[in-house]
Structure formats: C-alpha cells, structure tokens
Amino acid sequence: MVSPGQVLAQQIVDTRMENDTAASRLRPEYDQPGVPAGSFLLYPTLSAEAAYNDNIYARSDIKQGDASITVRPQVTARSQWLHNELNVNASAQVDRYAKHTSENVETGQVGFNGRYDFGGEMALSADAMVSSNIEPRGSSGDTLFGAKPVAYGQVTADLKLDKAISKTRVTVSGHVDRYRYKPRELDGVPIDLSYRDFNYIEGKARVAQAVSPGVAAYLEVELDNNVYAHPAPGTGQRDSTQYAALAGVTFGINRLLQGEAALGYFHRNFRDGAFAPVSGLDYNLSLAWSPTRLTTINFAADKAFQRAPMLGIAGFEQQDFAINVTHEVLRNVLLRPGVAYTVADYVGSPFRDRFGSAQFGATWLLSQHWKMDASAAHRLGRYSDPTLSARNFNQNRVSVALTYRF
C-alpha cells in the first residue's frame, strides 16, 4: 500500500526511486549476493586489469607505448535497516607498468554516505570522502613531464536537507573540497606544488514544484568561494567568489526519461583587480533516456569554473559534453559505447584546450561472483598555446579486466 506521503514524493520526482534501466536493473541470478555482517551487507571485490596504451605520456614529441597491470581491491558496506541508510566504501588502485616504472602509482579512497529520515517527508543526507589521486596524463592538470604524475590528496563532504510540502520540494545543500598537492622531483630538483592547494565551499538552495506526475520545475541559487591556501607572491591573487541562478526541469516517474536540465546565469568576482570578473550563460544537463528496456542513453552537459594549474592564470571555464549508451545484448552481456568532449577557456587569456574521447566497452556477467570487462578507447588533446604544442596528443588504449565479487 502506498501512503499519501509517498504519492506526494513521487509527484515531485523522488530521486531515490528504483530505476528500471539497462544499466541499473536488478539481475538476481548475476548480482553480487553480499556477505552478511550484522545489520549490514558487505560487498568485497577484487579486480585485475591488463592494458596496453600506445602513448602513456599523452604527448606528440615523445610517444611511448607500454603494457600495464592494474589491481583494484574494494569493499562496500550497506545498511539493511528498515528506515535510514548508511553506506561505507573503501577502495584502492595499484598501477604497474612493464617498462616505464616511473609511471607506477597507487591511489585510493575511503568514504561514506547516508540518509536520516525525520518523517513528515523530510530527510537529511550526508557524504564524505578522503582520497589520494593523480592528475591523468594529458589533462590540463598534468603539468610535469619527466617527473612522476602529479599527485594530490582530497577531502570532500556534502550535507543536504530535503523537505517535501504537498507538491513542493525544498532542498538546501552545502559542499566543501580541500585539495593538497604533493611535491615532486624533476631531474633531481624538488618541485613545490603547494601553490595549487586550495579550499572550495559551496551552498545551494532549490525549490521544485510538481507540474505533473514525475515532472517538476525548479529554481536554484548557488554561492561558492575559492581560496588558495598558499598564494605565490607576485603572481596575482586568484581567490574568487561566484553566484549563479538556474531554472530547470526534473524528470523521474518512470524509466523512459530520468534526470534534469537547467539554464541560468553566473557571475564570478576575483579578489585581485588584475583579473576581470567573468559572467555569462550557465547550464546543466543530466538525462537518462531508455527508449526500450534493453537500451539506456545517458546525456550529460555541464559548465563549471576550474582552478588553473599554472601561476598567473585566474582559472578556466570548462564545458563538458558526453553521451554514453548501455545496451543489454543478453541478460548477462552489456555493451557500453560512449563519446565525450571538453573545452577549457582560460580566463583573461585567448588560449583554449580541447579534449575528446571515444570508447567501446563490454561487460560479461559470468555468475554472481565473476564478471569480465573489456574496452577500447581513443583520446585526443589539443592546446591552442603554441608553446604547448608538444602536449597535443592522440592516444589509444585497450584493456581486459576480470573481477571476483565475494
């Protein structure tokens, strides 16, 4: 029996509802069963991947190919409570190259997410994560050639309060990020990357109003603040504050169309008057369209301000576009083609970075405990700054991975 409160929640698009899509639907005969541990189920996995990359440095001047092995242990604990929810996750990744051992890296993360239901259609959600990461070769943040990949530690946390009132849903949320970059050594000389350390805090408020079952219109306002922890003297103060407003629509009553789309305006001011304010169109798109029960097509587009990895540059406006498809060929065989494109326009500079990728992946669910993944991908990067022409690249990578799910 569905309660009146549940009906109202569905009318304003309940983002926690179960999806019935090719990518997310339950497959009891192939889904990992989990290991009981009190009121939790544990989901440990261990994956091993063999790959070949024909341009591991993602450059055009020195093109080197190499084979690699990647091991990924992971464990997730999910609560099985009747009310409220808590999930804890820990994972690691160890990359080892056959010849270019300077590219060997280890990354990992530990985090949790949870939800507390107050009753009366009000809930508090939270998540936090501590991670050790690297800047991928060929990305805007990959600024050191001849040294190990740029590495950084990240702490991130979110808090969200959600309240449904009749056909209206009010959401207030906050987000914080803390990035700390690790020093590197280039030709025996220590390289201090602390000038890239920064703190980010963001607050949002959204009001959504149901316009029909499963469709809601919303207004959202946002305020964020970027602060660099260790600004370098004489290079400009890059701290900034942004406000934005978006109007959009959310979908989610059935598997045909889920997600949201929004348009709006943003304005960013910099502490240093040497950097002119930037403003303009803001947008966000995240939609999953399932034309049949066997196919799901995900569309994503987003515009965001990103910190610049070099001194003297305020930052860049990054626009990301992606289309990813999941198609169920057989109950236990999924095909996953996709394409992505990114444009980065530097503030106060004529330069623009462009990145593209295309990939084709497949997942074979062998049993509840075993699965196999294979993929082939092509990436490219183009830098308009002529002094960075060596960083223009084309890259091909193929991989096969086998995962055991305990």
Which one-letter amino acid corresponds to residue 135? E
> Which pLDDT score, from 0 to 100, does residue 5 have?
38
Cβ pair 362, 377 in contact under 8 A:
no
DSSP H or E stretch at residue 8: helix 4-11
Q: Which residues of the chain have pLDDT under 50?
A: 1-11, 15-18
d(CA 87, CA 145): 39
Residues, the chain, total?
Answer: 406
d(CA 71, CA 46): 7
d(CA 44, CA 158): 25
Q: How far apart are the first and last CA of the chain?
A: 35
Q: Write phi, then psi, for 346 (nearest 5 degrees).
A: -80, 135
Whole-angstrom CA distances from 366 to 45, 61, 72, 370, 373 are: 15, 43, 19, 5, 11
The SS3 call for residue 26 is: coil
For the stretch 181-197, pLDDT in tens is: 999 988 889 999 999 99
> Which pLDDT score, from 0 to 100, does residue 253 have?
65
Q: pTM here?
A: 0.88
> Which pLDDT score, from 0 to 100, does residue 19 have?
58
CA angle 7, 11, 15 (to 5 degrees): 95
> Which pLDDT score, from 0 to 100, does residue 192 have?
92
DSSP H or E stretch at residue 18: none
d(CA 40, CA 81): 8
